[in-house]
Structure 1
Amino acid sequence: MNLRYILSFLNIMKIPGLYPIMKDWRAFIRMHFIFSAHESGLLKALSTPSNRDMLIKELNVKRPEVLDALLEVGLASKELELNNGLFSIKGKRSKAIMESNGDMLAAMIQGNVTYYSDAYRNVTNRIHGGELGDDLDKIGDLVARFSKIAEPIIKNFISSIVHGKNPMRILDIGCGSGVLLKSAYDSNGNATGVGIDIDEKVVRQAGENISTWGLSDRFEIRHGDIRHISGEMGTFDVITLYNLLYYFDKEARLSLINNLRDMLLPTGVLAVAMSFHSKGKDMATANLNMVNSSLKGLTPLPQLDDITSVLKKCGFGKIEIHRFMPGSTFYGIVATQN
């Protein structure tokens, strides 16, 4: 290679900020490759090493040049490898997505490439008064899938509340995948109750999961809006709200929590787990807040004091705060009336 070219390249790399941006750019490309390879079925097809013709047939490819381009990105990003004409999965990230817990990892990537990315792409229009995103009803199933990643934390939180108590009737509002109900049952075999969600796709997912886990005789999964059917559900020992209160504005939160207090037995517990406004100290939460502020039907993340204040107004006399992770504004709140 000509020395002049090498020197020119080295001078280019001296541009302030170029190297870290290049690293971020490569990560950006890798994430988009994994998204496309998962969505298109390429990763699944490569669970068995396959040549190009096999992939074209397996994936019903009509534009081979697009598949070729995707395969090339996979090789360049080291997520794929090619040996003796056979493509196979090489990268740790792509391999992880194909493992038993891979669906929640795939959902994380899908969320970042789709609606998280949309919040940033459209920020210029929206800060000048443009329409907010209107696809909240399309992302519930995706959110439920990647929310499973917090299960170990939430399981410990719920376990501390329900362990050893009998009876234990639970209402899980915004039940997502139903994993919170399973966690409650794992900690207390006396647990029964109801999971409710406003998203029909999520309700189907939760119902299938509860059935698969053999818990259909313990928990009922219902489709509906808790604001409209709360009076017909009876009373509960525990009511849980997981990443839900930012779907309600300040006035609606007050009304909701008042109604939930009336649904609790005198010794009952209201358990809240959610991300709160980080004031720039937690990147994950700041990113979530960006999305919340960009979609119709969501509100910016509240501050922790905002929610504890509402709980006090609604008659909860004892409020315990649980900090789940250092440096994070993902908290749990346990509220009781006495």
Structure 2
Amino acid sequence: MDVRAMAKVVRAGDIRTRVRALRDGQAAIRLAMTAAAVDLGVLDTLETPRTVEELGERHGFVDVDLARAFVATLEAGGLVTRSGDRLRLTRRGTVVRSDPVVRATYSAFSDFHTGLYRDLGGQLGGGSARDDVTRRAPAIADLSRFMQPLVESLLRGVVESRPTRSVLDVGCGAGMLLSTMLHAAPDATGTGLELDPAAAALAERNLTDQGLAQRSEVLVGEARERLAGRSGFDVALLANVVYYLPVDERPALLRLVHDVLAPGGTVVVVTTVLEDNAFSRHFDLLLRAQEGAMQLPVAEELAGQLREAGFADPQVRRVSPGESMTAFVASVPGVV
């Protein structure tokens, strides 16, 4: 190593910031490379070892030389290895292919999470709002599964701590947390509410597969319309729901949930909250850039809205240390 040349490198600028920029850039390359392998279907195809030519035929790659160069980057990135002229997945490549949370993470962060910033100038200049929440709903749902075991643990504790005969999941998605509540209360019935018909159909299938079809129902539509005339729920869940509503519409939803709970009933609101850390601020910006008046709730403001809706003082719990995902647990005054 030329010591004098290295000294010039160090003196040429803020070396720590330059090194960090290079590392960030290299991480961005790995992110985009892996996302391309997922989104193009290459990792799925290489579940069975294939040649570059077979890969090209399968995916309609006309530029074979470019396909070889792409495969070479996947080899260098540790996703693919070669046995003779046949390509196969490495252990890391197999995990990326098979784990839905990992797949969604690479796809989401290479697409809408970073696309937000590539497009921000146009939007700041009056361009159209984004549609990531609707366009990439499946990826967003898969990403939320990362914290699901922690949410499930909290939810089981709430359900098992009290007599529970009936549970409600507002925004039930694929129905997995509704399933958690029903397993925690074997004698209870459950109602899921979902706006998206495709997600509701998936929830029904998942509940049926777990033997819970006779104890559950999934309703499609707006909460005010579908919950009209219903009451007596012991536990209600709103997980990753409130930030999709404009701030001024949240109290009405919380009052509605209060009114359908039995005396002594409990609501559990799980949400990322707005805090002064990079990801929380990023997520809030992403929401504000969408169609509709979306934004992260401030913890104190949401707790106040729960009190205004008639709930007793909510307990505020971190779902995971160091993360902004927070649970608010509050009860309707009365005897359980």
Question: Could you state the TM-score of these two structures normalised by the residue count of structure 1?
Answer: 0.88
Contact 2:80–2:87 (8 Å) recurs in 1? yes
Match of 1:103 in 2: 100
Measure the CA separation in 2 of the matches of 1:217 and 1:125.
51
**After the TM superposition, which of the residue ranges 237-246 and 218-227 deviates more from structure 2?**
218-227
Contact 1:136–1:297 (8 Å) recurs in 2? no
Measure the CA separation in 2 of the matches of 1:42 and 1:79.
11
Cα deviation for residue 164 of structure 1 reads 5.9
Match of 1:73 in 2: 73
Cα deviation for residue 266 of structure 1 reads 0.8
Counterparts in 2 of 1:178-189, with a 5 A limit?
Answer: 178-189=175-186
Match of 1:335 in 2: 330
For residue 202 of structure 1, the aligned residue among 199, 203, 210 is 199
**After the TM superposition, which of the residue ranges 126-135 and 157-166 deviates more from structure 2?**
126-135
Residue 124 of structure 2 aligns with an amino acid whose one-letter code is I
Cα deviation for residue 66 of structure 1 reads 4.3
Match of 1:277 in 2: 274
Measure the CA separation in 2 of the matches of 1:68 and 1:232.
62
- Secondary structure of the 2:214 match is coil
- Secondary structure of the 1:54 match is helix
Contact 1:168–1:190 (8 Å) recurs in 2? yes
Matched length: 330
1:287 matches 2:282? yes
Question: After TM superposition, what 4+ stretches of structure 1 lie above 6 angstroms from structure 2?
Answer: 6-10
Contact 2:164–2:185 (8 Å) recurs in 1? no
Contact 2:246–2:295 (8 Å) recurs in 1? no
Contact 1:166–1:190 (8 Å) recurs in 2? no
Q: 1:19 to 1:190 in 2, by over 3 A?
A: same
Counterparts in 2 of 1:1-338, with a 5 A limit?
Answer: 15=13, 16=15, 17-90=17-90, 92=92, 94-99=93-98, 102-163=99-160, 165-278=162-275, 280-281=276-277, 283-338=278-333
Measure the CA separation in 1 of the matches of 2:247 and 2:312.
20
Identity %: 21
Question: Could you state the TM-score of these two structures normalised by the residue count of structure 2?
Answer: 0.89
Q: 1:298 to 1:129 in 2, by over 3 A?
A: same
Deviations 1:143-170 (A, max 9, x none): 1122111111111111111116544311
Cα deviation for residue 135 of structure 1 reads 4.2
**What is the alpha-carbon root mean square deviation over aligned residues?**
2.4
Give ranges in structure 1 of 5+ residues lacking alignment. none
- Secondary structure of the 2:213 match is coil
- Secondary structure of the 1:98 match is helix
